[in-house]
Amino acid sequence: MKIGTKVTLSLIIVFIIGILISGFALANVLENKAESEIDSKAGALMAMNNSIRTYTNDQVQPLLLPKLDTQQEFIPEAIPTYAVRETFEYFRKSPDFASFFYKDATLNPTNLRDKADDFEADIVNRFRREPETTSISGFRDMNGSKLYYTAKPFPIKNESCLRCHTTLDKAPKSQINTYGTENGYGWKLNEIVATQIVYVPAQRIFDNANRFFLIVMGVVAMIFTAVVVIMNQLLKRTVLGRIKKIATVAEQVSVGDMNASFGSQRNDEIGNLAEAFNRMKYSLEIAMNMLNKKG
């Protein structure tokens, strides 16, 4: 195998290894960045929903609770969970946010709309088993879409919540008339009864990250290819071509052609090699002349 071929193959191997390593590192960075971006969106939505919950609990509920016992029909707007869910549905009406979801996923809800499915129930039970866990995040496939979820425990901190969720005799009559007597009772103070869970569509963000990855790796590959081609041409012009010329002249001299010339050389290592061959040619020429005179 010629030196040029060896050098070219060596450069290609080195650059392929470099591309693989840099691609792996870049993929990890982009994936972490995408997850961080998704988590940031989920956190912002969670904070917004909790703000609505606090507002409803502190300012709206005190105005509406006294009416619950006098009304035949329950007033759900007095319940923070209902207010948060309804507000979020308005938020989802925008096409940009139609794939976002929020739910107070409850094991035993009054309104069955808030009933936790099996996946969410497992999260609630985990929060119950691990009181030190304050947040759980990950990915879930729903309706053919990949969603990123952030879940937080939902314990009963306010005694006002227990009025509607302990026993039937304490619950407002309008609530019983609306939701019945089977669900949403038996809650206890400080008990984790649900999880606040936000679902954020992740596929578009990961698609953008993958697209950026392909663009960057394409640019890097083109740069590496250009470097290989340039290095190969420089090697041929500055090293291999000159060595080949020296070898040709040396071959001519070896068969007795003393008129062959190495020509002018640059002041570098290959030039020094050519000068050494030049001196050897002169020495050989002198020796040949001496032999001819003796003969």
Q: Which two tokens stand for residue 46?
A: 């969670």
Cα 295 to Cα 293: distance, rounded to the nearest angstrom: 5
Consecutive 10-residue runs of the chain (295 residues): their mean pLDDT? 73 83 84 81 87 88 75 78 90 87 92 92 95 90 84 86 81 83 88 92 78 84 84 77 76 72 68 76 76 69
Which of helix, strand or coil describes residue 137?
Answer: strand
Give kind and range of the element (H or E) at residue 72.
Answer: none
Cα 251 to Cα 254: distance, rounded to the nearest angstrom: 5
Cα 222 to Cα 19: distance, rounded to the nearest angstrom: 11
* pTM, full prediction: 0.63
Cα 209 to Cα 227: distance, rounded to the nearest angstrom: 27
